[in-house]
Amino acid sequence: MKARIAVLGGDGIGPEVVAEAVRVIERVAELHGHQFALEHLAFGGVDIDQFGDGLPPATLEGCLAADGVLLGAIGGPKWGPKAPVRPEAALLRLRAALGVYANLRPVKVIPALRESSPIKAEVIDGVDMLFVRELTGGIYFGRKWREADRAVDECAYTVPEIERITRVAGQLARQRRGRITQVDKSNVLETSRLWREVSQRVIDAEFPDVSIEHMFVDAAAMHLVRRPRDFDVILTENLFGDVLTDEAAMLAGSLGVLPSAALGDGRRGLYEPIHGSAPDIAGRGIANPCGTILSAALLLRHSLGLEAEALRIESAVNAALEAGARTADLTSDAAAVLNTRGMGNAILAKLV
């Protein structure tokens, strides 16, 4: 198979973890006889410094021409809230340009990492959930303005936006255990009331084999650590999904092991680990590349249709962790810690 993959290292630890994912992609291509053209493009704060724009035309053009986009991370204190141009704005623009509105964030507890989680093993054993987060609407994309003594962030959703993301959740629930938990704050927010009404209607009409329940976001936050095994597919809006998935990452032991995919109506998607740029450890070679490598597996699965290759990567990551491979975020045993390249090597060794 021939495919084009845009590679965006980004900021902080992004280039370090992406380098390991690229090594894995290249090895999979060798093993399966694929020809992947990987185009490395600047993106984020590094582009702001060089071009004054976190998403210059050449980078956007390369992403639009690719079959899939792999991203490390963006942002850092250099481009903080008071900076005139911020990397996060570039990411929102890229998502909009790619038309990716459905963010998939799987959270599955790897048995080898049970002890890395702050939650008791008997609570997290068997956890396997999938967040379906709406990605291009809501408060992040609403109008914003400041006045002398107040600030406003507008949150708005349309019926078509909710319908399309609900259909994604319904299709995925059919492939899993057939249960959706739609999370909102409908006792307070009008947008949440619309979410509840529209999602119920779509599931009833188009997915009669799928069940849907509705839950307030504060209750969902509590039950994620109280009874996480009860969740299958969690459907929610942009802001709530952003917060809840970071909380759920602690079930798996670390933000460093969780991937994500951003998909639209076509096959091209944007794939990135859920962690940030971690500027405090950038350049030290100690970041965990597992989430980025698993994001590469999602790219092969969803954008290229290579299920066997995706499973091969996921099995290699699990096997390396089962064999005791650990980065600093996964163990307190300093003698057992691998650096970023070492973890990449451990995963490559299991890619057989």
Distances (CA, A) of 127 to 1, 38, 175, 200, 312: 34, 34, 16, 25, 21
The residue type of 110 is I
Instruction: For the chain, give the number of residues.
Output: 352
Q: How far apart are CA 203 and CA 199, in angstroms?
A: 6
With b for 16 or more beta-carbon neighbours within 10 A and e for fewer, the 244-274 pattern comes to: bbeebbbbbbbbbbbbbbbbbeeebbbbbbb
Tokens of 79: 């481009």
CA angle 62, 290, 174 (to 5 degrees): 80
Report the C-alpha gap between 298 and 320 in whole angstroms: 18
Q: For this structure, is 140 an active site residue?
A: yes
Classify 83 in phi/psi space as left (phi over 0), alpha (psi -120 to 50) or beta.
beta
Residue 204: count other Cβ atoms within 10 Å of its Cβ: 11
Pairing mode, strands 179-184 and 211-216: parallel
Q: Within 13 Å of residue 237, how many CA atoms lie on the same side as its CB?
A: 30
Based on the residue annotation, tell me whether 242 is a catalytic residue of this protein.
yes
Is there a catalytic annotation at residue 144? Answer: no
Q: Which of 49, 53, 128, 246 is catalytic?
A: 246
Residues 6 or more apart from 275 whose CB is under 8 A from it? 73, 255, 256, 258, 288, 291
Set 11, 242, 329, 350: catalytic member: 242
Q: Which residue among 49, 53, 108, 185 is the active-site one?
A: 185
17: exposed, middle or buried (Cβ count in 10 Å: 0-12, 13-18, 19+) = buried
Q: Exactly one of 218, 230, 265, 333 is catalytic; which is it? A: 218
CA-to-CA distance for 303 and 297, rounded, in angstroms? 10
Instruction: Catalogue the active-site residues.
Output: 140, 185, 218, 242, 246
